[in-house]
Amino acid sequence: MRHVTGRARRAGAALAAALTWAGLLAGCSADGPGPLGMGGALGEPPPPEDVIRVTPEDGSKAVRPGDRLLVRVPGGRLEKVTVVRSQDAQDAPVPGHISEDGLTWRPDDDRLALAAKYTVDVVALDSQGRRAARHTTFTTYVPDRRFIAYVTPENRATVGTGMIVSLSFSQEITDRAAVERAVRVSARPPVEIRPHWFGKGRLDFRPEHYWKPGTEVTVDLALRDVEGARGFYGLQDKTLSFTVGRSQVSLVDAAKHTMEVRRDGQLLATVPVTAGAPKHPTYNGKMVVMDMLEVTRMNSQTVGLGAEYDIADVPHAMRLTESGTFLHGNYWATDAPGRVNVSHGCVGLVDVKGGSSDTPAGWFFDRSRVGDVVEVVNSQDKTVAPDNGLGGWNMGWKEWKAGSAEK
């Protein structure tokens, strides 16, 4: 057996220590292949959170919609980022893109959904080519105050050429620009469609002229999580559509006591009518059929006229304004149409009690639909207000466009 002196043992230990430190230093260098780097120690890979940074942080709660989702690495490059949004018991991928330098990932839409859980899975390489993976989650703010839009016309309806798309909101809107950007109305064939606000609670859309027959109109509501007023967030994310049918425009001449009914520009008939009496004249201007009722009750107290009338069974009633103007059948003054104006502001056509398709009122009702235009001329009243029913056609195109919140 070879005898090793103490001096030799000490020399060997020193040499081993020198070699060990040389190896560690090589591992710490930026170009070396050793196990250290980006926070690693004694041959262990760095923690994933040091390699991959995710904002919002893992486990965050009640994240506000103004915060931004961002994935980044301080060095190396991102290989794959998968983000899933869970909302209303449904999962949906969140599209996004990795930057050209490979250091960051951002979603294509940087607005976070409310009342949602986000799951983020990332695979990346650090600056030394080592692969790391990270899984994080966070949840977003759940608002207790929401608003919705009530939309006219109904989904899948077939309407007349005078229909105006009207949104009435359940909450006054203070950020009208944000809400307006979240609503898109489009048509096929294409036509310019512009919005107009009436106060803080109503947003209407229309083209410059009446729709062309056969037009398909789509209303996209991307209101979900849009803050329309302080602390009030939209609820809807849905698409509606309707079809424009044939054109029917009727011209009521209050002085002549007649109504000319034109279908696709051709005169169908001239019908005798009675309009508003001198004390209660009918509005002038363009009005749009908003609702059609086979029979309805009309009570003067509902329109501020005291106890002047209460008729329980008015037949063939078509609403023209929110304030109570109707075109309807009249069985209690059948000698008035064509001769004299006796109504309290409505337009009356000859009818019988219970209604009949054989009367002028029944004939017109059977040939009408929601969205048809009824225009009144030569009455002694003012022009109907653009926000009284669907009266927006009484406003010039320049003025209409000026009512947008997006200047």
The residues facing 267 across adjacent strands are 262
Determine which helix (DSSP H) or strand (DSSP E) holds 397, and give its type and residue range.
helix 397-401
Max Cα distance, the chain (Å) = 140
- Look up 28 and say whether it is catalytic: no
Cα(2)–Cα(169) distance, integer angstroms: 98
Q: Which run of H or E residues covers position 242? A: strand 237-244
C-alpha closest to that of 285 among 151, 154, 394, 125: 394
Catalytic, 328? Answer: yes
The C-alpha atoms of residue 277 and residue 254 are separated, in whole angstroms, by 10
ω into 46 cis (within 30 of 0)? no
**What is the spatial distance between Cα 157 and Cα 211, in angstroms, rounded to a whole number?**
14
Query: In sequence order, what DSSP letters do the residues of 142-202 get, joined into one string?
Result: --S-EE-EEEES-TTEEE-TT--EEEEESS--S-HHHHHHTEEEEEES---EEEEEETTTE
Q: Which of 196, 280, 316, 328 is catalytic?
A: 328
Distance CA 222, CA 232 (A): 15
Residues carrying an active site annotation: 328, 346
